[in-house]
């Protein structure tokens, strides 16, 4: 805490913090207000005498109803969930093994391999989707969830590998050596000792991987075309913007509902993983 | 039988020859301490015995088996690490039980062994706690307990007391010794602390630059160091060294240097006679120096100027200047000396050490 007079604390701590919090939360507030705002208010010009941008006096659930009944939103949610979970599981599994190997095992070119994996993460998705689209077509995976389940790991595996590599490096080597003297094989030492100790790292890698796949846009836009295959991020932007007409209320309702699972996962796990980082993992 | 035999052991890391041709016979029930400055190869040697480091060449036998190619789990050893290496996600009980579970012991046997070990170490109350809830000394006990429960053929200790504060270190040192007496398990203990080595070891192995300098019982190392390094490393405060010239005058042998002129007793003169006219290194332990009384023989004493006085209570350490050399004398606490005083220090003629200037070996 900043020491000194009360005004000092207000000017240098409370005020900036308040601005920061407002700046962060305002988009979500705007999303919520727009979701329940009736169409009449949405299209009211800003100089109208009864223009109320920051609140609404006639909240309505019409947009949500439209989203759920008239579009394939539920289907999109299911698609996104299926793809994100599978992509996360695949990436986490590969990242765990690769991260462990790169941080612990001595083998030729271990260092350059680690760097190589990192470099693949640096190739922008906006370029990578072009060759990937060709591959997807050759394997006849276009317009199926597998197109995304198999392409998301291309950026999730390097990410998980690097995050977990750092985590494994921070775990004292002696823990594993001790386990191996105690009678565990390298594999058992990894499963019984290293992974449980690395739970906070594994959880954060999983959360980030899930969030990245949930929010992914470009690959989903390119590889999926029929409405019933789409993910939330692509579905609401392509199906609720028709020509130059924006269905703002339903768009915002979709964005709001679409961010609920990620918000839930964060609020549930973040506590666990913050507790893990401060050293109170239940074993 | 759980002896450990090490034959012509070598270890090379990329370009570094860390352990050079080490030979060691460790008897059943013996407590052997490897001691030396950091980087001397003692920990690498221990890790090769444990199977955590591959062997470049040579042979290690535990019991009657050659273990060169055996993984650590099959060597029937237990190791205590410097940073304890307790499994942070397991309770004290599970930490101690892990090795037994891995080896498929049944529940009651595990429980009996863990409880017995906890009783020996006085940690029965802590069995359900997690390592992070324990103090440094308690963690060290758990690490010991984890080794004890296994009833291994050999205990390996890698600087287990280095992370403890001075008082606790002395206390745990005594406990390790007691446990060894009680269990009689062969033990190899690595430390850089020569006091720990002297107090714990049945035999002590002094290492430097990957080479074994001397192997012997603690007092043997203290009284008959094989070379200048061992002489300087064993004993606290360390031995004083001075370069002296051997001279033969009137039939007697003299060790001479600026400020020093000592007539060597006949008993050791014989050994040194071949070095007449050469420079050799003279070694005198601080505890073999005392302030001379008036009647002292002038041939066995020299003048010194006091530079620093360290009052330890049981003795006083005088840091003195003798000609161009500085020396330390451990004298009686009753000695009244002040900085800049000129004293005459007498030495014990039976406890003079001489080392070759080139080979550093004792003469």
Per-residue pLDDT reduced to its tens digit, B9-28: 999 988 889 999 999 999 99
pLDDT at A278 exceeding the cut of 60? no
Cβ-nearest to B90 among A174, A279, A283? A283
Give residue A283's pLDDT: 32
pLDDT at A36 exceeding the cut of 70? yes
Q: In what order do the strands lie in the sheet with B186-191?
A: B77-80, B154-158, B186-191, B31-35, B203-208, B211-216
Give residue A281's pLDDT: 38
What SS3 class is residue B64? coil
Helix (H) or strand (E) holding B246: strand B240-249
Strands (E), A15-65: none
Q: Which residue has the tokens 């389940």?
A: A149
Residues of chain B with Cβ-Cβ distance to A175 below 8 Å are: 85, 87
Give residue A170's pLDDT: 86
Instruction: Calculate how close chain B gets to A199, using CA atoms only, in Å.
Output: 10
More confident residue, A89 or B341: A89
pLDDT at A272 exceeding the cut of 70? no
Instruction: Calculate how close chain A gets to B105, using CA atoms only, in Å.
Output: 12
- Of B101, B14, B11, nearest to B50 by C-alpha is B11
- What integer is the mean pLDDT of A247-272? 86
CB contact (8 A) between residue B50 and residue A177: yes
Residues of chain B short of pLDDT 50, as ranges, are none
Closest residue in chain A to residue B72, using alpha carbons only: A181
Residues of chain B with Cβ-Cβ distance to A196 below 8 Å are: 89
Give residue B188's pLDDT: 94
- What integer is the mean pLDDT of A48-71? 87
B41: left (phi over 0), alpha (psi -120 to 50) or beta: left
Closest residue in chain A to residue B80, using alpha carbons only: A178
Structure token digits, residue B131: 């390592």
- What integer is the mean pLDDT of A160-186? 90
A197 interfacial to chain B (CB closer than 8 Å): yes
pLDDT at A161 exceeding the cut of 80? yes
Residues A132 and A151: beta-carbon distance below 8 Å: yes
Cβ-nearest to B99 among A174, A183, A281? A183
Q: pLDDT digit string (tens) for A182-227?
A: 989 889 999 999 999 888 888 888 988 999 999 999 999 999 999 9
Structure token digits, residue B345: 């220090």
Instruction: Calculate how close chain B gets to A179, using CA atoms only, in Å.
Output: 7
Residue A275: pLDDT band with limits 50, 70, 90: low
CB contact (8 A) between residue A177 and residue B88: no
Distances in whole angstroms, Cα of residue B244 to Cα of each of B9, B247, B250, B326: 38, 9, 18, 14
ipTM for the predicted complex comes to: 0.81
Cα separation of B123 and B140, whole Å? Answer: 11
Instruction: Calculate how close chain A gets to B359, using CA atoms only, in Å.
Output: 39
Give residue A94's pLDDT: 95
Cα separation of A83 and A79, whole Å? Answer: 6
By mean pLDDT, which of A45-49, A235-239, B324-328 is the weakest?
Answer: A45-49
B294, burial (CB in 10 Å: exposed 0-12, middle 13-18, buried 19+): exposed
pLDDT at A2 exceeding the cut of 70? no
- Of A4, A17, A34, nearest to A251 by C-alpha is A34
A180 interfacial to chain B (CB closer than 8 Å): yes
Residue A280: pLDDT band with limits 50, 70, 90: very low
B286 interfacial to chain A (CB closer than 8 Å): no
- What integer is the mean pLDDT of A111-127? 87
More confident residue, B258 or A102: A102
* Angle, helices A153-170/A125-138, rounded to nearest 10 degrees: 120
Residue B23, φ and ψ in degrees, nearest 5 = -125, 135
Instruction: Judge if the upstream peptide bond of residue B144 is cis by omega within 30 degrees of 0.
Output: no
CA angle, residues B105, B111, B112, in degrees to nearest 5 = 95
Give residue A279's pLDDT: 44
Strand pairing of B325-331 and B316-322?
antiparallel
Cβ-nearest to B99 among A172, A182, A185? A182
Residues of chain A with Cβ-Cβ distance to B140 below 8 Å are: none
Closest residue in chain A to residue B52, using alpha carbons only: A177
Give residue A214's pLDDT: 93
Give residue A23's pLDDT: 95
């Amino acid at each position: 805490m900043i020491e000194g007079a009360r005004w000092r604390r207000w000017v240098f701590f409370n005020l900036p913090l308040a601005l920061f919090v407002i700046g962060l939360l305002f988009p979500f507030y705007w999303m919520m207000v727009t979701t329940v705002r009736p169409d009449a208010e949405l299209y009211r010009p800003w100089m109208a005498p009864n223009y109320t941008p920051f609140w609404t006096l006639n909240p309505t659930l019409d947009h949500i109803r439209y989203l759920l009944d008239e579009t394939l939103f539920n289907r999109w949610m299911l698609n996104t969930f299926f793809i994100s979970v599978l992509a996360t599981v695949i990436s986490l599994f590969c990242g765990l093994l690769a991260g462990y190997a790169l941080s612990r095992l001595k083998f030729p070119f271990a260092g350059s391999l680690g760097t190589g994996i990192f470099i693949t993460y640096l190739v922008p998705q906006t370029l990578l989707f072009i060759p990937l689209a060709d591959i997807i077509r050759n394997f006849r995976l276009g317009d199926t969830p597998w197109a995304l389940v198999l392409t998301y790991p291309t950026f999730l595996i390097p990410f998980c590998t690097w995050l977990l590599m750092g985590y494994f490096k921070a775990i004292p080597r002696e823990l594993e050596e001790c386990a191996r003297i105690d009678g565990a094989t390298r594999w058992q030492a990894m499963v019984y000792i290293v992974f449980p100790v690395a739970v906070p790292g594994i959880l954060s890698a999983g959360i980030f991987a899930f969030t990245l796949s949930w929010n992914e846009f470009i690959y989903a836009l390119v590889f999926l075309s029929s409405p019933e295959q789409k993910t939330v991020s692509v579905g609401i932007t392509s199906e609720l913007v028709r020509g130059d007409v924006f269905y703002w209320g339903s768009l915002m309702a979709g964005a709001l509902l679409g961010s609920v699972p990620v918000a839930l996962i964060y609020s549930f796990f973040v506590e666990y993983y913050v507790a893990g980082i401060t050293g109170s993992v239940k074993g | 039988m759980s002896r450990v035999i090490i034959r012509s052991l070598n270890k090379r890391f990329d370009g570094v020859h860390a352990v050079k041709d080490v030979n060691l016979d460790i008897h059943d029930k013996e407590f052997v301490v490897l001691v030396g400055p950091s980087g001397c190869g003692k920990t690498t040697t221990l890790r090769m015995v444990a199977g955590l480091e591959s062997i470049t060449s040579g042979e290690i036998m535990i019991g009657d088996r050659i273990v060169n190619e055996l993984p650590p789990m099959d060597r029937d050893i237990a190791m205590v690490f410097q940073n304890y290496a307790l499994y942070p996600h397991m309770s004290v009980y599970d930490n101690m039980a892990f090795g037994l579970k891995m080896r498929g012991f049944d529940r009651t046997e595990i429980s009996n062994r863990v409880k017995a070990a906890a009783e020996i170490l006085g940690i029965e109350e802590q069995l359900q706690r997690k390592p992070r809830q324990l103090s440094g000394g308690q963690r060290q006990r758990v690490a010991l307990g984890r080794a004890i429960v296994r009833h291994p053929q050999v205990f390996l200790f890698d600087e287990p007391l280095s992370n403890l504060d001075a008082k606790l270190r002395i206390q745990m040192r005594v406990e390790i010794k007691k446990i060894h007496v009680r269990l009689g398990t062969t033990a190899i203990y690595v430390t850089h602390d020569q006091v720990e080595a002297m107090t714990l070891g049945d035999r002590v192995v002094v290492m430097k630059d990957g080479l074994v300098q001397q192997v012997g019982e603690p007092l043997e190392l203290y009284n008959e160091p094989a070379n200048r390094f061992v002489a300087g490393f064993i004993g606290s405060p360390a031995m004083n060294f001075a370069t002296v010239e051997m001279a033969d005058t009137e039939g007697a042998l003299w060790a001479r240097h600026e400020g020093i002129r000592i007539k060597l007793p006949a008993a050791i003169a014989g050994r040194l006679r071949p070095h007449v006219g050469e420079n050799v290194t003279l070694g005198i332990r601080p505890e073999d120096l005392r302030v001379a009384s008036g009647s002292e023989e002038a041939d066995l004493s020299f003048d010194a100027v006091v530079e620093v006085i360290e009052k330890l209570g049981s003795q006083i350490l005088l840091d003195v200047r003798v000609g161009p050399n500085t020396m330390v004398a451990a004298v009686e606490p009753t000695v009244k000396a002040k900085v800049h005083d000129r004293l005459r220090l007498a030495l014990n003629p039976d406890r003079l050490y001489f080392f070759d200037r080139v080979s550093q070996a004792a003469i």
